[in-house]
Amino acid sequence: MGMVNRMKEILAATNNGHKLEELRAVLAPRGVSVVSLRDRGIEIVPDETGVTFEENALIKARAIRKAAGGCAVLADDSGLCVDALDGAPGVVSAVYAGDDASDEENTAKLLREMEGMENRRGRFVCVLAYIDENGEEKLFRGECEGEILREMSGGKGFGYDPVFRPVGSDVTFAEMSEEAKNGMSHRGMALRQLAVSS
């Protein structure tokens, strides 16, 4: 029997279908198979007590690695940082309107908070924490500058995508194809750094 060229496997610390699609879209062509927590039957939800994206990404990665028994893991912490709101929603982007808030509720709160504000600048930030099979930890950070629109536009993507228009684009993330978004997004940038280093 010949040697099997086995794909490298990484356990992603998420069950978010949209995030998994983005991870797989960038990493699969590079020979990396991304497995979800659900695929492994892991039901741990670590307390994200960090005050930075880096801290929260590492908290998730370490907890998942421990629960999974030491395989290679990848955790992501990301959010939208708005200049006029002193960096909010930031690390609480996913729960901005409450612990069980939907994407629509979070976005609606953001638009309410920004009513009447002329400065619409902001950026999406993504920090990936990667821990390899040997326990070595690496962090990768991607940022995408843009502006916050006054109303939602587009039905693709997730989170704050319908109100975020990146610099150099005339459409929001929610109006782009997956390929176009991955080419300029914060997560795409961090993933490409990971892919180059691994």
Question: What does the pLDDT profile of the chain (198 residues) look like in tens digits?
Answer: 333 344 689 999 988 888 898 889 888 888 889 999 999 999 888 888 999 999 999 999 999 999 998 899 999 999 999 999 999 999 999 999 999 999 999 999 999 999 999 999 999 999 999 999 999 999 999 999 999 999 999 999 889 999 999 999 999 999 999 889 989 999 989 988 987 776
| Domain coordinates in residue numbering, the chain | 8-197
Residue 65 has what pLDDT?
Answer: 95
Closest C-alpha to 105, from 122, 89, 85, 84: 89
Residue 7 has what pLDDT?
Answer: 62
Residue 64 has what pLDDT?
Answer: 95
Residue 165 has what pLDDT?
Answer: 98
Residue 198 has what pLDDT?
Answer: 63
Packed helices 17-27 and 186-197: angle between N→C axes, nearest 10 degrees = 40
Dist. CA 101–CA 122, nearest whole Å:
21
* Amino acid (one-letter) located at 58: L
Query: Given the structure tokens 């502006």, which residue do they identify?
Result: 147
* Amino acid (one-letter) located at 97: A
88 in Cβ contact with 151 (< 8 Å): no
Q: Is 100 a catalytic residue?
A: no
| Per CATH, domain 8-197 is 3.90.950.10 | yes
Q: What number of other Cβ atoms are within 10 A of residue 43's Cβ?
A: 9
Closest C-alpha to 187, from 75, 36, 52: 75
**Which residue among 39, 47, 76, 77 is the active-site one?**
77
